[in-house]
């Protein structure tokens, strides 16, 4: 009993640490930003960190790549268990995260020194082979980020509702837990604060320069943790089922005849 309580306390502490981590990361970004402003034009440390092909961009891509791999494993496992809704959902999720991974590194354009294709030279705002920066699509990608941020921030409240009719969908495999909301909340929260500060109520209000990359970095960690936790949960459930089945078979085989 004491060991169970100790494990439960440890899990609570881990959840709290997971929840607090993005707050600490955001504080570090803020301090680096302030330090960069203090030292002025001599060296822009903040924009050096968040710039193209540097630490934050590749870290964001890395988390999406790993998350897509875990998502693919989960999809295969669900399909083998004939949980087709779960399997198809995680196939879509995994492909989506792999797409974001590719977009983050411009599909290896600068890594492999690939020239920008003609269509993208004319229509891409950053002159690279990416879809989300195409004219007319950039603002739609912002709206998608807002919606994802809101969903990841608030959807966990649905888990508190005991609706038997929707219990199949209202489960942690589709909804991030409360301790992950701090990874999803910064994007919609920043939009709200930015709109209130600038009085720009346009539907296409953009993020201030220099804030997008850190927030996208936090979002990538949120996706990774969401998929990894579900992978760990499914693996634990499978081991428990196999262990129980093994115990039942052992009991049937070696139980004394009555």
Q: What mean pLDDT comes out for the span 171-191?
A: 91
Above 70 in pLDDT, residue 167? no
Give residue 206's pLDDT.
53
- Residue 251 resides in a domain: no
Q: What mean pLDDT comes out for the span 17-21?
A: 95
**What is the average pLDDT value for the chain, to the nearest integer?**
81
Quickly state the pLDDT bin for 164 (edges 50, 70, 90): low
Please count the other Cβ atoms lying within 10 Å of the Cβ belonging to residue 19.
Answer: 16
Q: What is the DSSP letter of 169?
A: T
Q: What mean pLDDT comes out for the span 206-233?
A: 87
Quickly state the pLDDT bin for 61 (edges 50, 70, 90): very high
- Residue 241 resides in a domain: no
User: Cα dist. 256→162, 250, 252 in Å?
Assistant: 44, 12, 9
**Phi, psi (degrees; rounded to nearest 5) at 199:** 60, 25
Q: Which domain holds residue 184?
A: 2-104+136-230
Give residue 179's pLDDT.
94
Number of separate domains in the chain: 1
Share of the chain above pLDDT 70, in %: 78
Give residue 209's pLDDT.
59
Q: Buried b / exposed e across 87-118, counting CB within 10 Å, b at 16+?
A: bebbbebbebbbebbbbbbbbebeeeeeebee
Closest CA to 185 of 159, 208, 161, 156: 156
| Structure-model confidence comparison of residues 26 and 197, the more confident one | 26
Copy the structure tokens of residue 19: 């929840």
- Residue 18 resides in a domain: yes
Give residue 254's pLDDT.
39
Above 80 in pLDDT, residue 84? yes
User: Cα dist. 28→64, 75, 214, 245 in Å?
Assistant: 22, 36, 10, 49
The three-state secondary structure class of 124 is: strand
- 206 near 190, Cβ under 8 Å? no
- Residue 245 resides in a domain: no
Q: What mean pLDDT comes out for the span 104-133?
A: 89
Copy the structure tokens of residue 28: 């570090």
The three-state secondary structure class of 210 is: coil
Handedness of CA 126, 130, 131, 132 (dihedral sign): negative
- Residue 94 resides in a domain: yes
| Structure-model confidence comparison of residues 253 and 21, the more confident one | 21
Above 80 in pLDDT, residue 197? no
- 75 near 87, Cβ under 8 Å? yes
- Residue 207 resides in a domain: yes
| Structure-model confidence comparison of residues 14 and 210, the more confident one | 14
Give residue 53's pLDDT.
75
Give residue 201's pLDDT.
55
- Residues 6 or more apart from 11 whose CB is under 8 A from it? none
- Residue 188 resides in a domain: yes
- Residue 90 resides in a domain: yes
């Amino acid at each position: 009993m004491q060991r169970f309580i100790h494990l439960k306390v440890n899990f609570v502490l881990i959840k709290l640490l997971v929840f607090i981590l993005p707050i600490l990361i955001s504080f570090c970004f803020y301090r680096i930003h302030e330090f960069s402003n203090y030292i002025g034009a001599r060296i822009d440390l903040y924009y050096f960190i968040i710039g193209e092909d540097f630490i934050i961009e590749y870290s964001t891509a890395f988390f999406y790549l790993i998350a897509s791999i875990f998502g693919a494993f989960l999809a295969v496992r669900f399909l083998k268990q004939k949980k087709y809704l779960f399997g198809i959902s995680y196939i879509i999720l995994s492909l989506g995260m792999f797409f974001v991974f590719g977009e983050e590194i411009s599909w290896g354009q600068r890594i492999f020194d690939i020239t920008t294709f003609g269509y993208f030279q004319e229509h891409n705002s950053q002159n690279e082979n990416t879809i989300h920066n195409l004219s007319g699509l950039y603002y739609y990608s912002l709206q998608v980020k807002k919606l994802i941020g809101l969903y990841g921030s608030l959807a966990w409240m649905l888990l508190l509702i005991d609706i038997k009719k929707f219990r199949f969908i209202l489960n942690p495999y589709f909804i991030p837990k409360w301790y992950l909301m701090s990874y999803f909340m910064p994007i919609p929260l920043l939009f709200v604060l930015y709109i209130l500060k600038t009085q720009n109520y346009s539907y296409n209000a953009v993020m201030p320069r220099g804030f997008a990359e850190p927030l996208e970095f936090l979002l990538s960690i949120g996706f990774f943790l969401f998929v990894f936790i579900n992978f760990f949960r499914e693996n634990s459930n499978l081991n428990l089922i196999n262990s129980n089945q093994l115990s039942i078979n052992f009991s049937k085989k070696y139980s004394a005849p009555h």
